Amino acid sequence: MNALLVYPRFPDTYWSFRYALSFQGKRAAQPPLGLMTIAALLPASWNKRLVDTNVERLKDSDLAWADVVLLSGMQVQQEGLLAIVRRCRMRGLRTIVGGPIASSVPPAALEADCVVIGEAEDLMVTLARDLESGSPRPVYQADGYPSMERSPLPDLSLIRLSRYSTMTVQYSRGCPFNCEFCDIIEIYGRRPRTKAVDQVIAEFDQLYEAGWRGPVFIVDDNFIGNKVRARNLLAALAGWGKARGYPFRLITEASLNLADDRELLQSMKNAGFTSVFLGIETPDESSLKAANKLQNTRRDLLESVALIQQYGIEVMGGFILGFDTDREDVFDRLVDFIQKSAIPIAMVGLLQAMPGTQLFRRLSGEGRILHDGGGNNTGCELNFLPRMNAVRLVEGYRSVLRRIYACDAYYERVREYLSRCRPHYRPHISFGNVRALFLSILRQGIRGKSRLSYWRFLLSAATRHRRSFGAAMTLAVMGYHFQIMTEQLLKVDA
């Protein structure tokens, strides 16, 4: 059987990093890890082909080759996914849809022949057998949460590594916390499950042997959800990296209580972690409590961020506006916090009530849901009725974006981050990095609207932060993406 695995296109958002990727000639930030894992679960006798529409076109010849098409994606990819499903069905091709979107959207809305709800490790044998017999069921639903030790090595042979800026390895699923707005705990549960250390090392070996040298995102919902197992993994990663000259720059997601454990932070540094994404959400403690984000309360948020940065780990922050308890001063407070925290990559979005979450159920009961939402929280559309005047909320959100991504403000945050953090990695010299530097000077320093701010920053990076020059230029390029996206967003919604 010929199985065609297709990944829908992401819309252009802050999360796409589209305008930064072009500096290095990359087409997408990360490969479709879920589909690569599904491919490894399919029968070895099947022929498999993967098309990631973020990096290449889905051709008619691909569809003519296929016996069945398997798609996966998130809710934000729904428009692209439906277009592919409809194209397949016009040709009489059977379609199977899974991934997070299948756990968030009613099966009928996906228009596929089969929908796989939940994690696939315990479902694929049955699904494959039914496909071979020509009698698949309309819906397959996982019974509970499978052990991650059943998850195979992703099939790297299906992608071209050179098209992506970052490789991905999944270590755990689930999160022990109970944030009202989060769909992770609804889909993957509140008891973190992890792969064995040997499994993760095998994935690192596979990437290394394939020739990858660069960033690797440990794509966990919460890397420290189980601290005991995280420590064991970190010890192994430190030894693996040291033996190979630290070929990977490690990135992950975690909760802010990471700042409570200096020993764990040192272990992350020793293992080669250089960045961590934290859901900070808001500096307003009443909003944190109302959203049940209790792990961020009873602490000084700025001190927590600064402590993590002291270990040479860049903090990327997620922030949300639109909580019921937000007051008129929340916009100024958020801008002030972001600037003082020296978080260059500050992802600010409007609250989305995602289907399946506690928040969606509460607001639905209150008659405040407008629609299911599209999964993009960095646009200016609300899918619920907020307590604050909706027009004022969107205006305030736009003002936050305008201020934090203004060149002077952004470069100020980067300089402060470099002063307090001193990143402990130096990007290797490569054609891609030289190309990125050249294009940065051309697009930002010569053609850019904020040339003076750029050259002041470049001079500071070359003199005061020489040891961190590579990190400085990486962040300068990231800033270009944020600035272009902000201009477009403010123009479209003006």
Give 310-344 pLDDT, tens digit per residue. Answer: 999 999 999 999 999 999 999 999 999 999 999 99
Query: Can you tell me the mean pLDDT for 380-400?
Result: 96
User: Alpha carbon 56 to chain centroid distance?
Assistant: 20
Least confident of 95-99, 274-278, 397-401, 429-433: 429-433
Beta strands in 18-79 (DSSP E): 47-52, 68-72
- Kindly tell me if the per-residue pLDDT of 407 is higher than 60: yes
Q: Are 248 and 216 in contact (CB under 8 A)?
A: yes
pLDDT cut 70: percent of the chain above it: 98
Query: Can you tell me the mean pLDDT for 142-149?
Result: 95
State the CB neighbour count (10 A cutoff) for residue 139. Answer: 13
- Kindly tell me if the per-residue pLDDT of 428 is higher than 90: no
Which residue bears the tokens 């930030």? 29
> For all residues of the chain together, what is the average pLDDT?
95
Among candidate residues 241, 257, 193, the one with its CA nearest the CA of residue 220: 193
Concatenating the DSSP letter of every residue in 419-468 gives HHH--S--PPP-HHHHHHHHHHIIIIIIS-TTHHHHHHHHHHHHHTTGGG
Which residue bears the tokens 């040298």? 213
Q: In sequence order, what are the beta bridge partners of 2?
A: 47
Provide the residue ranges of all domains of the chain, joining segments of one domain with +.
2-141, 166-398, 420-492
Task: Confirm whether 2-141 and 166-398 share one CATH topology.
Answer: no
Q: Is residue 236 exposed (0-12), middle (13-18) or buried (19+ Cβ within 10 Å)?
A: middle
Query: What's residue 494's pLDDT?
Result: 52
Query: Can you tell me the mean pLDDT for 286-310?
Result: 96
Instruction: Report the CATH architecture of 2-141.
Output: 3-Layer(aba) Sandwich (3.40)
What 3-state class would DSSP assign to 398?
Answer: helix
Give 181-233 pLDDT, tens digit per residue. Answer: 999 999 999 999 999 999 999 999 999 999 999 999 999 889 999 999 999 99
What 3-state class would DSSP assign to 250?
Answer: strand
Q: Distance between CA 203 and CA 219 in Å, rounded?
A: 13
Among candidate residues 465, 193, 244, 435, the one with its CA nearest the CA of residue 342: 465
Sequence-distant (6+) residues with CB within 8 A of 402 are 486, 490
pTM of the model: 0.95
Which fold is adopted by the domain 166-398? TIM Barrel (3.20.20)
Give 434-450 pLDDT, tens digit per residue. Answer: 999 999 999 999 999 99
Confidence tier at 374 by pLDDT (50, 70, 90): confident
Of all residues in the chain, what percent are helix, strand and coil, respectively (each to 5)? 50, 15, 35
Q: Are 93 and 69 in contact (CB under 8 A)?
A: yes
Which residue bears the tokens 């159920």? 361
Among candidate residues 195, 185, 257, the one with its CA nearest the CA of residue 221: 185
Orientation of helix 301-310 relative to helix 407-421, angle to 10°: 60
